[in-house]
Amino acid sequence: MKKLIVAALMAVLILPCMAQVTKLEVSAVKKEGPSSIELPKPNMKGGLPLYDALSNRQTQRKFSPKPLDEQQLSDMLWCAGGVNRPDGKLTSPTARNAQEIDIIVFMEKGAYLYLPKENMLKMLLPEDHRAEMSQYSKMPVEAPVTLLFFANYEKMDGFDEQARDFYGATDAGFVSQNVYLYCAANKLSTVVMGAIDRERLSELIPIKGKPILAQPVGYPAK
Ligand SMILES: Cc1cc2nc3c(=O)[nH]c(=O)nc-3n(C[C@H](O)[C@H](O)[C@H](O)COP(=O)(O)O)c2cc1C
């Protein structure tokens, strides 16, 4: 009888703890996305006429957490810096066609590098790192997606330090404006951010280069 009571007590005390561990493990697994994501083919036709998109272009700083789907990601990334010609050149111009602006997509499930030629995302960092992007603002966490425009110095051979800094910054600006126009045409909120934690991001990103600008994107908050 005594043994039975001890066994029952153990079941009451220990089993919930074990269930808790299992739950935590499940949620940890759930947070991490796949190591790569094949994007659907981007829509490269139609959209809002250019003058209407320019009339709507604006900074908006309130975001709904509603996620963007893979078609939206594919379309936005193609606008930002996708391949638009058979010779492999991009929708955004780059000095000497260095194509040095890596677009890194920060989401809850991880940070992914956009590969324009393959039209896919490759995981760089598992799990959610959006909170580390800026000490000054919660916008990168409030938006479901925050893009980081990162000047990849490995693609800038032959540029001296001053040229790397200058063209890394100018070229990231073109990418950002393309994202602004995509958002204007699709009624999404966006803000380009210079106030980011470059030191922390440089430690995090396993690529030699410089984080230039971030750009949260999402549905406007109601
Ligand atoms: C290079 C650059 C950096 C910016 N950095 C920030 C920022 O860190 N945080 C922010 O809220 N807005 C930032 N902005 C957005 C500007 O405040 C915004 O573009 C400006 O107020 C004009 O508003 P508009 O974009 O609606 O025309 C930045 C804009 C640029 C071009």
**pLDDT one-digit tens code per residue, 69-127:** 999 999 999 999 999 999 999 999 999 999 999 999 999 999 999 999 999 999 999 99
pTM: 0.88
Contact at 8 Å (CB) between 113 and 102?
A: yes
Give ligand 1 pocket residues (Cβ under 6 A).
Answer: 58-59, 61, 191-195
Ligand 1 atom 19: the closest Cα is on which residue? 59
Least confident of 7-11, 189-193, 201-205, 206-210: 7-11
- 33-218: CATH number: 3.40.109.10
DSSP 8-state assignment for residue 211: E
Q: Select from 193, 196, 197, 215 the residue to mutate for testing ligand 1; criterion: most ligand atoms less than 8 Å from CB.
A: 193
Protein residue with least CA distance to atom 29, ligand 1: 192
For the chain, what are the domain ranges?
1-31, 33-218
User: With 0-12 CB in 10 A as exposed, 13-18 as middle and 19+ as buried, what is 112?
Assistant: buried
Nearest-atom number in ligand 1 for the CA of 59 is 26
